[in-house]
Amino acid sequence: MKMEAHLIIILIFGIIAVTGMLVALTFFRKRRHDLEKEETAAMDRFIINGLFGADTSLSKKDGRRFIERFTALKQSVATDGEMESQFSAIVASCGLDAYYMKRLKSKLKFRRIEAGVYLGIIGTEAAREALEQAVGREKHYSARLYLISSLVDIGNPESIPNIAKTILDAPDWYREKVREMLYEFGTDCFDHFAEIKDSARKEYKELIIGFAEIYPVSNLIDYLRGLTRDQEEEESIRYKATTVLTKIYALETDRPEFMNHADPYIRGIAVQGLGSNPSVVNLLRLIPLLADEEMGSHAHAAIAKIIAAKPPQVCILAEEFHKYEDDGVRSSLAELISKRIDYMMLKVSADNAGEFRAILKEIMRRGHNSSIIGFLNKNRDSNLESAIIPILKEVFEESPAVKKEYRIYLDDWLLKKCDLTRYVSKNNRKEETHNKWVVAYLYFLVFVLLFSFPAVYALRHRELLMTMTLFEQLKVYVVDFNYYLIYYTTAVNGVYLFLLFCSFIGVTKQAKYWNLKKLPFLFRKKMLPSVSIIAPAFNEEATIIESANSLLNLRYPDYELIIVNDGSKDSTLETLIQYFKLEKVDVRVDEKLKAMPIRGIYRNASRPKLTVVDKENGGKADSLNTGINISSKDYFCGIDSDSLLETDALLKLTSLLVDEEVECPAMGGNIFPINGCAVDNGTLTSLNIPDNHVAKLQTIEYIRAFMAGRVGWAQLNCLLIISGAFGLFKKDRIIEIGGYLTSSGKYNKNTVGEDMELVVRLNRHMLEQSQKFKIKYVYNANCWTEVPESFRVLKSQRDRWHRGLIDILTFHHELIGNPDYGRVGMIAMPYFFIFEMMGPLVEIQGYIMVALAAVLGLLNQEIALLLFASTILMGILISVSSLYLAEKESDYFSFKELAILVLYAFMENFGARQLISLWRVTGYLNSLKKPKGWGKMERKGFAGKTSTADFPNA
C-alpha cells in the first residue's frame, strides 16, 4: 500500500473536519433542545392563558406547534366547552383542518398517520368523514390503528360500520385491537350488531361475543345460545361463546345440555361456571368431580372460587375429606383446605381434634405448607401451638422434604420448640465441564491466526526467502503487518460507520413515530401486550428495594413484577419480605422450562403486581427460566435487579410493536450507566454523568455500542445482542426454544452470555421455521445500570463478556457463513466471529508490530499517519458520531457534561480501547481453561454504600 503524503494529510484533515463538525452539531442540537423547551413553555402558556379571550391569530407553523402542545396538555389538563370552542377557532384560522386532510392522502405512511392523529383532536364532522375515507383506503394495518383510534376519540356511532369492516380478512393481532376500540362505543354498537348478527363471517361473530362479555345485556343471550348449540359452527367460536355465556350468565350453562356435553372443553367450562354460585349444593356437586380425570382441574377451580367467596364453607370440605379414599380427590381437597388453614385452625375443638389432625397431616404430606407456616409464625395461642407441634414432628419423621421446608421458613423460636435447626442451603448445581472439542477448535483458530500472516508473507515474498537474512526478512514482515493492521482497523471502523448510517435512519424514524403516540392511544385495551418483568437477584440487598420500587411505578397498562431471589447469601430475601410485608403462598407452577427447585413464593394481596420467588442457586439464566414458568403475561422483560428503568421505558419499548406488521419476538432497550445519578426511593431524580473516570469512559463506550451498534444491526434486521439488563421477549417463542441455556435445561449447558445466546437461538429458530419476524432495538427506552468503577472489576467483566461471546459462537458455529440463515448467517455472525471474537488477537499482534517497527526504526511517515488515521481518528469519529446521535433526538446531558463526554470520546482512543482489547485476549485465553463463573463485582448501590455481589457461576 502506497499513498502520496498529501493524500494522507487530506484524509486526516478530512476526518478531523468531519469530527469537528459533529462536535459542533452535537452542541447545536443541545442548544436547539433548550430553545424547543422555551418555545414549548411559551406555547403552553398561550394555550392555558390565551384560549380564554386572548388574540388567537397564529401562523401555520405556530398552528402546528399549537395543536401538538394542545394534544399533549389535553392528556393531563381537563378541557371544557369554552376551551374546545377557542381551540376550534384557532384551528380554523390557521387552516389546520384542511392541511391535515390533504396530508391524509400523502404517499408517505408517516404523514398519513400524523394527519389522522391530529384530525382526531380537531374532531369536526369534516375531519370524521375524511378519516373514514382514509381508513377505507389505507393498506397498512398499523396505520389503520391510528386512524381508527382517532375515529373512536371523535366518538360518532356512524363510524362503527366502517371501522367494523376493516376487521374482515385482517390478521388476528389487528382484529383484537380494533374490537377493543369498537367496544368503547358502548351500547351504540347494538344498531350495527342487528345488521351483522346473521353474518356467517367469523370476524363479526368474534366481535359480538367479545361485546357480550363486556356489556352483559339480556338480548344477546339468545345469540350466544345459538352459537353454542350449533354443531356446525366453528369450534373456536362455540368455545368462546360458551365461555362468555358461563362467565356472564352462569345459570345458562348449569343445564344438562352443557354439564353432560360430549365435548369435554364445553363440559369443563360449565363445571367452572358452578363456582359463580357459591352455594352448598354446588360445592357438594363439585367435590366428586375432583376424581374425574377430565373435569378435576375445572372442579378444583370452581371450588376455590366458592371458598374465596364464602370462607366458612371450607369446613364442608373438611367434613367431606374423610368420605373419599380417591387419592386425587384427597390431594385437591387438601390443597383447597390449605388456602384457608387459618380459618380451620381457629375452628379446632375437642370434638373434631382427630379429624383436624388427619387433615393437617395430609396437607403437610402433599406439600401445601405455606399457609401452615405463615399461620404458625403469626400465632400466639400457646394451646393451639402445643396441639400442632406434635403433628409437625410426626410428619417430619416421615418426610425429609417437608422437614426441610419448615427448617427454612419457620421462625427461630418455633424451630427450637420443634427440635430443629435452621437449614443451610448447599450448592447442588452441576459444574460446567470442559468441552474438549471447543478447546481444540479455539487452539486451531489461534494456530491459524498466528501462522496465516507468516504464510501470506511467504507467498508474497517467496523470492526473498532464500536471498535475505532473517533479520532483514523480519523487517519486511513487521512493515507488512503494520499495513495489515491498517487494513483491519479501516475495515472494522468502516463497518461501524455503515452501522452509524443505519442507526441514523432508525433513530430518526423511531423518534418521529414516538412523538405521535399519545398516552390515551397506548393505554387503549390490548393496544400493547401484557408484560411480566423478571428481575433475577443474587446478593442485591444494596439496591433491591430501590429497583423494586422503580419497577412497581412504571407507566404501563398491564404488567407484573417477578423478583427471583437466586439463593442469595445476604439479606436480599429478608429485605424484600420486610419492606413489602410479603407472605409465603402455595402456587401451582407449570414447569415448562427446567430450573432449580423453588423454595418459596411470596406475595402481598395489597400489591398484586409483585411476586417474589425464592429458589436454589442456579445462576441468572436459571432464575429467568423460573420467572418464565411463573409469569402470566404475553411477553416477559428480563432486567437486572440492580438496574432502574425510566418510568416510560417499557411503554417506549413496546410501543414500537404498534408500528410493526410482522412478529417481533424480541426487543432491546438502551443502557446508560447510573453511576453519578441521584435516586430517591427507586426513582431517578437527577441524570448526571459519573464522577468516576472509569465509569465516564464506559458512558462513551455504552453510547457507541448501543447507538452505533444495536440500532444499526436492528435496522439491518440481524440484531444478535439484547442486553440482559433490559430486554423484552415473547414468552411462547422462548418456551418453544427451551428458554435460557442452563445445565438443567434442554441443551444441558450453561453459558456466561445468556442474553446474546438466547437472541442467536431465537433468530435461528425463527429462520428455520421460515417465519417472518423482526428483532428490534428501541433507542429511547432507557435502563440505567451500575457499571464498574475500577479497572480491576472492569477487566473481570470484559473477560466474562468475551468468554460468553466465544461460547455462543462456538455453540452456534453452524450459522457462521451459512446462507440458509440469511443476513444473520452471512452478515451478523461472520462479523462477530471475525471482528469481535478473533479481532482482539489481530489487534494485539498489530500493536506489538507497531512497537517493534518503532524500535527498529521502520515506522515511516506513511505508516504512522495511516495508523493514526485508521485507529485513532476514525475511533474518535465513531465515538463523537454516536454521541451526536444520542443527543439528536433526546436531551440527556448538560453543556458541561457534553463537553466532558466529548473530551472522553477523544481520550478513550489513546489507551483505553487498546487496554480493553488486551483484556478480551485474556478472555480468549481463559476460554481454553476450566470454565469459571461471573467473578466478583463491587456494587455501591444507588445510595453509594459498597457491597460485593459474589456472582454465581453461569
With a cut of 70, say whether residue 304 has pLDDT above it. Answer: yes
Task: Tell me which of 355-369, 472-486, 872-886 is least confident.
Answer: 355-369
Q: What confidence score (pLDDT) does residue 56 get?
A: 60
Compute φ and ψ for 712, nearest 5 degrees. -65, -45
Cell of 270: 360449565
Residue 372's nearest CA partner among 409, 404, 418 is 409
C-alpha–C-alpha distance, residues 803 and 810, integer Å: 11
Q: Is the pLDDT of residue 428 over 90?
A: no
Short-list 554, 597, 547, CA closest to 572:
547
* pLDDT, average across residues 796-808: 92
Which tens digits make up the pLDDT trace of 180-220? Answer: 999 999 988 888 888 898 899 999 999 999 999 888 877 78
Element (H, E) at 854: helix 839-855
Per-residue pLDDT for 947 more than 70?
Answer: no
Query: Do strands 583-585 and 663-673 pair parallel, antiparallel, or not at all (unpaired)?
Result: unpaired
Residue whose grid cell is 437461538 = 761
Q: Which residue has the cell 382526531?
A: 120
| pLDDT at residue number 611 | 96
Judge whether residue 940 has pLDDT over 70. Answer: no
Cα(94)–Cα(74) distance, rounded to whole angstroms?
Answer: 20
Highest mean pLDDT among 239-253, 362-376, 533-547, 713-727 belongs to: 713-727
Is the pLDDT confidence value at 167 over 60? yes
Do you know the residue count of the chain? 954
Read off the pLDDT of residues 559-571 as tens digits, 9 standing for 90 and up.
999 999 998 888 8
In this prediction, residues 923-945 reach a mean pLDDT of 67
Which residue's C-alpha cell is 459533529?
22
696 falls in which pLDDT band (50, 70, 90)? very high
Distances (CA, A) of 368 to 333, 336, 409, 426, 822: 11, 9, 13, 23, 51
Rounded to two decimals, the pTM is: 0.88
pLDDT-derived band at 937, boundaries 50, 70, 90: low
The answer to whether residue 946 scores a pLDDT higher than 70 is no
Burial of 558 (0-12, 13-18, 19+ CB in 10 A): middle
Task: Determine contact, residues 152/179, Cβ cutoff 8 Å.
Answer: no
Give the pLDDT of residue 536. Answer: 92
Cα–Cα dist 910/925, whole Å: 25
pLDDT band at 517 (very low <50, low <70, confident <90, very high): very high
156-179 exposure pattern, b = at least 16 Cβ within 10 A, e = fewer: eeebbeebbebbeebeebbbbbbb
Mean pLDDT of 287-315: 89
CA torsion sign, 504 to 507 to 509 to 512?
negative
Percent of the chain with pLDDT over 90: 53
Other C-beta atoms closer than 10 Å to the C-beta of 280 total 11
Alpha helices per DSSP H over 123-263: 125-137, 141-154, 160-165, 172-183, 190-196, 202-214, 221-229, 235-248, 250-253, 256-259
For residue 408, is pLDDT > 80? yes
The predicted structure's pLDDT at residue 952: 38
Confidence of residue 868 (pLDDT cuts 50, 70, 90): very high
Per-residue pLDDT at 327: 83
Q: How high does pLDDT run on average in the chain?
A: 88
Residue in this structure with the C-alpha cell 391524509, named with its chain if needed: 104
Amino acid, res. 419? D
Question: In the predicted model, what is the mean pLDDT of residues 830-834?
Answer: 96
Q: What is the pLDDT of residues 45-67, one digit of tens each?
A: 887 776 545 456 677 777 888 88
Residue 260: exposure state from Cβ atoms within 10 A (0-12, 13-18, ≥19): exposed
Query: CB of 714 within 8 A of CB of 776?
Result: yes
Question: Does the pLDDT value for residue 765 go beyond 50?
Answer: yes
User: Which of these ranges, 159-163, 704-708, 793-797, has the smallest mean pLDDT?
Assistant: 704-708
In whole angstroms, give the CA distance from residue 889 to residue 97. 28
When mean pLDDT is compared across 84-93, 113-122, 876-885, the lowest value belongs to: 84-93
| Confidence bin at 433 (pLDDT 50/70/90) | low
Examine the pLDDT at 784 and tell me if it is beyond 60: yes
User: Which secondary-structure segment (H or E) carries 673?
Assistant: strand 663-673
* Mean pLDDT, rounded, for 255-265: 88
Identify the three-state secondary structure at position 352: coil
Nearest to 617 by CA among 571, 568, 676: 568
C-alpha cell at 349: 375443638
Mean pLDDT, residues 3-24: 89
Q: Grid coordinates representing 395?
A: 410428619
- pLDDT of 148 strictly over 90: yes
**The pLDDT value given to residue 215:** 86
- Specify the CATH number for 493-947; select among 3.20.10.10, 3.90.550.10, 1.10.357.10, 3.30.420.40: 3.90.550.10
C-alpha cell at 113: 398517520
Q: CA-to-CA distance for 912 and 922, rounded, in angstroms? A: 16
Whether the pLDDT of residue 348 is over 80: the answer is: no
Beta carbons of 863 and 482 less than 8 angstroms apart? yes
3-state helix, strand, coil in the chain (%, to 5): 65, 10, 25
Q: Please report the sign of the dihedral spanned by the C-alpha atoms of residue 474, residue 475, residue 476, residue 477.
A: positive
Q: Is pLDDT of 944 > 50? A: no
Specify the 3-state DSSP secondary structure of 815.
Answer: helix
Are 884 and 21 spatial neighbours (Cβ–Cβ below 8 Å)? Answer: no
How far apart, in Å, are the Cα atoms of 404 and each of 424, 865, 933? 10, 69, 28
* Domain extent listing, the chain: 5-155, 156-248, 340-424, 493-947
- Chain position carrying cell 399461620: 375
Q: Looking at the predicted structure, is the pLDDT value of residue 89 above 60?
A: yes
Q: How are beta strands 531-537 and 559-566 bridged, if at all?
A: parallel
